[in-house]
Amino acid sequence: MLKHILKLIKTQGKSNVWVFIELLIVFILLWWSVDSCLMQGVTAFQPEGISVDNVCKVTIAVRPRTSTSYITYDEGSEETGKNFLRIVDRLRMHPDVEAVTFCSQYSAPFNYSNSHNSYWNDTISSTSGLVYEVTPEYFRVFDIHTADGGSPDRLAEALSDGGVVSRTMAEKLTDDGRLEGKRLAFNRGDSTTYLVCAITAPLKKQGFDQPQVIGFMNIPEKDIYKSSEQELTRMPICIRLRPGVEGSADYAARFKKEMKQSLAAGNFWLADVQYYPDIRAKYLDSSLQINGRRLTVAVNIFLLVNVFLAMIGTFWFRVNRRRSELGLRMAIGSSRIDLKRLVIGESLIILTIAAIPALLICLNMAYIDLLSSEVMEVTFGRLLTVSLLTWGILAGIITLAVWYPSHKAAHLEPAEALHYE
């Protein structure tokens, strides 16, 4: 059968030239699209490294100075910071609350603020990364584990002793990822160093992006006493509910109503309580990066639909043009199953032959670094997977394209087949 099909393809060489050219171009475009979609799929299924389930965000505000109940403190007074910490302690004592943390505005998960810095392992190796200013309980609230799977408690203890970095930073600054126990500087040659006491698992900033380079720094209590009321209101307070307490938007509303009086201290008052999964969903829905990924997916789907229509049209026309040949074959004794196998087999062999030069072009594209290595290195396994997926998609489309016309041709009556001939 294979030898016979190859003879048929050679005999119909002129009419197959345009089919080969079309398959060559389509294979390259689809190969690129499949690689892009595969990398996005890998990114989407990578763990975020944090958990916001059963977490609520507490936002406090300050009374306006025009309010009759506004309290004016002496310059340099620590009462503002004490009031803020009183609110945190009252949250910690609530029977439904397991852990409480507060952090800088840009350190809370799923927010639009960022703070960057340069981290130097020595005078040669450096990387730019995010700076998170948090309290030790941050790791317990967001269930962040160490790189080797250790508990959040280890990270909380490490932050109290020095600093914590993400595994991505450790991999950027060292060949083996072993950064624990070393000191980092924020500037080249800076005498002020940052002792790395623990390394977290890979952490994402936006849920569907790549793990980020992050350095965690402890917020000293003395800094709270020196902060103004406006600065403290920009620090989100996050709470993790105890196991068995079912968090939801309704629970957050009830919690706000229940704690409205007790969380008032000095000029601070409780402005809002939000359920963190709702914050995450809203953030991801409006994120420019996520919308960009949706656009990429839409373009790839549009390309796939056009490939499907092009292949359907080409091979449908090609089989219909040979109805007389197929009918004659049946008239002289070929079975209907043999005819279908012949047409489908011939089409798949044409695809396979066209895929050979197409793959050579695709491999050259990979060789000159036209493929992104941000998600995964360009390895033989990746190229093989993408190539097999591309061939499989086109093979499925072509099989669908030729099955129906070949089915109709196989059911021609012998007299009608001779009429075509």
**Does 65 fall in a domain?**
no
Whole-angstrom CA distances from 342 to 5, 46, 319, 401, 402 are 7, 44, 11, 14, 11
Residues 23, 129, single domain; the answer is: no
Nearest to 86 by CA among 71, 102, 72: 102
Give percent of the chain with pLDDT exceeding 90. 38
Contact 116, 169 (CB under 8 A): no
Please write the tens of the pLDDT for every residue from 155-181. Answer: 999 998 888 999 999 998 888 878 888
Give the Cα separation of 181 and 162 in Å (integer): 10
Please write the tens of the pLDDT for every residue from 336-389. Answer: 677 777 778 888 888 888 999 999 999 998 888 878 777 788 889 999 999 999
Residues 40, 154, single domain; the answer is: no
- pLDDT, average across residues 315-333: 68
- pLDDT, average across residues 89-107: 94
Residues 146, 42, single domain; the answer is: no
Residues 307, 210, single domain; the answer is: no
Rounded to two decimals, the pTM is 0.79
**Does 147 fall in a domain?**
yes
**Does 325 fall in a domain?**
yes
Residue where a domain terminates, one of 188, 218, 248? 218
Coil/strand/helix, residue 386: helix
pLDDT of residue 401: 78
Task: Name the residue range of residue 173's domain.
Answer: 104-218
**Does 137 fall in a domain?**
yes
Residues 300, 385, single domain; the answer is: yes
**Does 57 fall in a domain?**
no
Q: How many domains are contained in the chain?
A: 2
**Does 356 fall in a domain?**
yes
**Does 248 fall in a domain?**
no
Residues 295, 380, single domain; the answer is: yes
Residue where a domain terminates, one of 218, 249, 275? 218
Residue where a domain terminates, one of 218, 240, 263? 218
Residues 120, 18, single domain; the answer is: no
pLDDT of residue 100: 96
Residues 35, 116, single domain; the answer is: no
Residues 208, 296, single domain; the answer is: no
